[in-house]
Amino acid sequence: MPGPFFVVPCDQQEENPVYQGERGGEAMEDREILELFRQRDQGAIPALEERYGQRLRALAGRLLGSPEDAEECVSDTYLAAWNAIPPEEPVYLFAYLAAICRNRALSALSREKAQKRRGEVVALTAELEQCIPDARRDREETAREIGEALNRFLRGLGEEPRRFFLRRYWYAESIREVAQACGVSESKVKMSLHRTRKKLREFLQKEGLWQ
């Protein structure tokens, strides 16, 4: 059965916290790419690949551990985006694509036997078991409730702890990767994540989602 890592919210429609400084230029180019989708111009897919392919493969690769599986996941992501836009109009294109990519990677993982899952995914699940109940597949409604509560919790976090949390548990980055990207020590990331998990557990207890 899927563990807590599988119900970390996948509907984040905010900027990728990895690239906060790119907002202005990214918005212009994203609008151009979205216009290709609206016109049903097949050049939209190569444009996505050029702009976001490397990031998406990195995300899928961290979860799946196989370059071939990651490549297939990214291709599926492009196809899903092509079929959804329009009518959908993503506010932040990379966040939209990353959500699709992550969901597809986790769907593949959920079909694997637990012993075959990557060690990093097992580690992430173990960390989140401290604060998120295990939403079983036969309790989809509970999983949705947890996801909605997580989104509310994340919106109330400060910028830095929220960035650490999303990098670690949404983008599946290692502690070292989070620390290097954010320009802080690994110990600071670990302490922040520990405090955030504690706050999250207390939040879910108040929401009636943690016994």
Query: Which segments of the chain have a pLDDT < 50?
Result: 1-8, 10-28, 113-117, 136-138
Q: What is the pLDDT of residues 186-195, one digit of tens each?
A: 999 999 999 9
* Token output for 207: 């929401």
Number of DSSP helices (H) and strands (E) in the chain, helices first: 9, 0
* Token output for 18: 């990895």
CA angle 127, 131, 136 (to 5 degrees): 90
So what's the pLDDT on residue 102? 86
Tell me the backbone φ, ψ of residue 89, rounded to 5 degrees.
Answer: -130, 85
Protein fold of 117-206: Arc Repressor Mutant, subunit A (1.10.10)
Residue bearing tokens 């502690």: 175
Residue 10 CA to residue 13 CA, distance in Å, equals 9
So what's the pLDDT on residue 47? 93
Q: What is the pLDDT of residues 131-144, one digit of tens each?
A: 776 554 445 556 67
pTM score, whole prediction? 0.67
So what's the pLDDT on residue 87? 93
DSSP string, 76-91: HHHHHHHHHTTT---S
- Helix, strand, coil content of the chain in percent (nearest 5): 70, 0, 30
So what's the pLDDT on residue 184? 95
DSSP string, 141-178: HHHHHHHHHHHHHHHTS-HHHHHHHHHHHTS---HHHH
In the chain, the amino acid numbered 165 is F
Nearest CA-CA partner of 105 in 89, 121, 92: 121
Q: Where are the domains of the chain?
A: 17-114, 117-206
17-114 sits in which CATH class?
A: mainly alpha
* Token output for 140: 């989809």
